[in-house]
Amino acid sequence: MQNLHNLLNKEQFLSVTRQKGTSLIIAGAGSGKTRVITYKIAYLIEKGVAPHKILAVTFTNKAAREMGQRVTELIGRMKDPPMISTFHSLGLYILKTEIQKLGYGRKFSIYDDKDCQKLLKDIIYELKLPEDLYDVYEISFKISLMKMNLKTEVLDENLKKIYVKYEEYLKLHNAVDFDDLIKLPLELFDSFPEVLQKYQKKWEYILIDEYQDASFMQYQFIKKIAMSHKNLSVVGDDDQSIYSWRGANSNIFTMLERDFDPVYEVRLEQNYRSTTTILEAANSIIKNNSSRKEKKLWTDRGVGDKIGFYEAENEEEEAAFIRDQTIRYINEGYKYKDIGILFRMNSQSRPIEESFREYDIPYKVVGSRKFFDRPEIRDALSYLRFLANTDDEVALHRIINNPKRGIGNTTIQALMEFSKEYKCPIFASIKTFIENNTLGNKTTPYLEDFVKLIEKYREMVFKPKNIAKTLNKLIEEIDYQSKLLMEVKNLKKVVQRMNNINQLVQSISRYEFNPDNFDPNLFEYLQRVTLMQKDDDDNDKDNQVNMMSIHSSKGLEFKIVFIAGVEEGLIPHAKSAEENGNEEEERRLFYVAVTRAREKLFLSYPKTRVKFYETLHKTSSPFMKEIPENLIVKLGDANDDDSADENIFSNLLKRLNKKNEASAVAPS
C-alpha cells in the first residue's frame, strides 16, 4: 500500500491509523467515509492482523460489495478475507450454525415483508378482528419497531394477541422475519454465553459504516460482540440520521461514548463532492438543530453556481420547469443519469413523470416494483420455498391452488385450522387429511396429486446443481403459462411474465455454476434472494434521469439535483409538527437532499396544489429562510428563458426527425 499521507487528508489519516480501542468517526456528507473504512481494513492487515479476524458491517449489499472490491484493489485477493456484510447477513451467518439451540429447524425460511403481512392477515381473520380497524401494513410496522427496539409492551390488548400469535406461528412454520435475524442472535448470546464467546474470539476488529442508521437492537448486537476487546470503529454522521420511523436510534452516539469509554473521536469535515455554495447552504440549514455534534463542511472545489429557486403557480408548472431545465442541461452536454429529482412523497412524481413522458425524456423512479416483487416470480419462489421447507405455511397458501387444482378456500382454511389447533406442520396435516379422507372423495384426490407433485420435485431439487432444472420442469408440469393466459388474457403480457420466470431460472443456474459458490444449495439460494430484496439498492446503470424520494437518495450523488415541493407541509412534513423532535429529523432530511448535489442545485414548489379535488394554497418551506439570500437566485416562469425555449424546440425537432427516420425505413 502506498504512503497513506499522500492518499488521505489529516483527519482521514488519524482515523485509519488508530489501531486499538474504540473510535467514533463523525463523517460529514461527501467526506470520504468509505475510503476511511476500506483503508483502515487494509492498514490493519498490513500491520499483521489476520484478515479473517476483521468484521465490517454496513446496511446494503451494494455498499458491502463495493467495500469488498475496494479492499481487494488495495491489498489483492486473500485466501481467508475479512467478513464484509450487512447486519442481516451477519445475523443469518450466525443463525445458520446456531438456530437449532433456540428450537428451530436448521432448514428455516426467511419471510419477507409480504409474507409477514399475509401471516398477519390470517391471524386477524383467526382472531375475528375487524380488518378495517387492523391494517396489516401498520401492524407489521409496529411489530417491527417493537422488535428493533427490544420493547414488548403494547398498549392495545388485541395488538398484543396478534403479536403473540405472530411469533408463535413463525416458529411453527420454522420461519423467521428480517428483524429476527438480529433479535434471535441476541437471544442466543444471552442464553448461551459460549456462543457469544465464540464470535467474540472470531472477530477481534469490528468496523461499522453508516452508524447513524443503526437501531437500538443492532447496536446491542455489535456491542455484545465487541465488548470483550473494544476494538470498534464506527463511521457515521448524526446530521444524516433520517430513519427513526424504521427504528434508527439517534441516541446510539451517546450510548457508544457511555458503554465504550474512552472513545477516540475525529471529525471528517472536508467535502469532496459539492461546491462551496451548496455546502454553505447545507451548513446554514443544519446548524439550526440543537441535538447534534458540531461540524462545518468545507471544500476546495470552488464556489460554483448559485442555488436556483423557482415558485410555480401549480404542480404542472413546477414539473414543466424541471423538465425544461433538464432539456437545457442535456443539450449542454450533461447525461440523463447526471440528474436527480428528489421529493418528500412518492406521489409527487406523477406530474413530473407525465411531463417527461410527453417530451420522451428517459427516466426511472427508484423504488418502483422490483423484479422479485412481481407475482409470477413470487409464485415460482414460493414453490421453491415449500420444496425447501414443508412447514412454510405462507408459501403453501400461495401455491396449493396455484394454478387452480380443485383445492378451494374452505379446504385451505380447514387445513390451516387443523395445523394450528394441533400444532402440526402443514404438510403433515395434508397427509393426515388424505389418510383419514377428512374432506371426502371429491377433494382428497386433489390433495393426493399435490402431495405427489411436491414429493417428486423435493426428490429432484436436492440433487447437486439441479435447482434451475427442477424449477423449469415444475413450471412446465403445472402448465403455468396456461394459467397466465386464463388470468391475464393478454398474450404480450403473458410472454413478458414467462420471460421473467426464464430470467429467474437463468439466474439460479448462474448461482449454481458459479465457481465462487462453495456449496450451492436451495436453502442458501432462497436466503440469499430474500436478503437481497431487503438490503439491496436499486442499481440500474442505464442513462436515465433518476426520480426518487429523499430517503431513497441517501448515499447517492448527482451533478444536478432538483428538490421538488420545498413547501410547508412537505418539507418539513405536516406530521412533524405533531411529533416532538421530528422537526429536527425533517431538517436533517432536507440537509441530506441538499448535499446530494455536486454542481447545481434547484429548489422549487407550487403555490397551489390540488388534493382530493380541493385547491390548497402553499407557501415555501420555513427551511428556505435558513439559507442565506446571497446563495440563492430566484428564477422566473418556465417560459421566460429564451434559451430554454430554444432547447425545447431543438428537442422537439430531434424527436420529429427520429420519427421521420423510423417511418422512412419501416416496411410499407
**Could you list the active site residues?**
33-34, 209-210, 240, 596
| Residue pointed to by grid coordinates 436533517 | 588
Q: What is the number of alpha carbons within 13 Å of residue 190 lying toward its C-beta?
A: 9
DSSP 3-state of 180: helix
Burial class (CB in 10 A: 0-12, 13-18, 19+), 550: buried
CA distance to 140, 300, 392, 472, 503, per residue, from 551 (Å):
20, 28, 33, 38, 30
Q: Which of these, 275, 255, 271, lies nearest to 263 by C-alpha position?
A: 255
The cell for 658 is 427520429
CB 488 within 8 A of CB 494: yes
CB 551 within 8 A of CB 245: no
Distance (Å, whole) CA 299 – CA 384 = 52
C-alpha torsion sign, points 489, 493, 499, 504? negative
CA angle 497, 535, 177 (to 5 degrees): 90
CB 26 within 8 A of CB 55: no
| Residue pointed to by grid coordinates 407489521 | 140
DSSP 3-state of 270: strand
Task: Give φ, ψ of 266 to 5 degrees.
Answer: -140, 145
The cell for 370 is 422490483
CB 598 within 8 A of CB 272: no
DSSP 3-state of 27: strand
Burial class (CB in 10 A: 0-12, 13-18, 19+), 58: buried
CA torsion 120-125-130-132 (nearest 10°) is 50
DSSP string for 198-248: HHHHH-SEEEESSGGG-BHHHHHHHHHHHTTT--EEEEE-GGG---GGGTB
CA distance to 2, 68, 76, 465, per residue, from 514 (Å):
33, 18, 21, 10
Q: Which of these, 87, 108, 107, 101, lies nearest to 188 by C-alpha position?
A: 101
Q: Which of these, 439, 417, 419, lies nearest to 429 by C-alpha position?
A: 419
The cell for 381 is 419462489
* Secondary structure in 3-state letters for 451-493: HHHHHHHHHHHCCCCCHHHHHHHHHHHCCHHHHHHHHHCCHHH
CB 292 within 8 A of CB 278: no
The cell for 432 is 393426515
CB 18 within 8 A of CB 45: no
Distance (Å, whole) CA 283 – CA 409 = 59
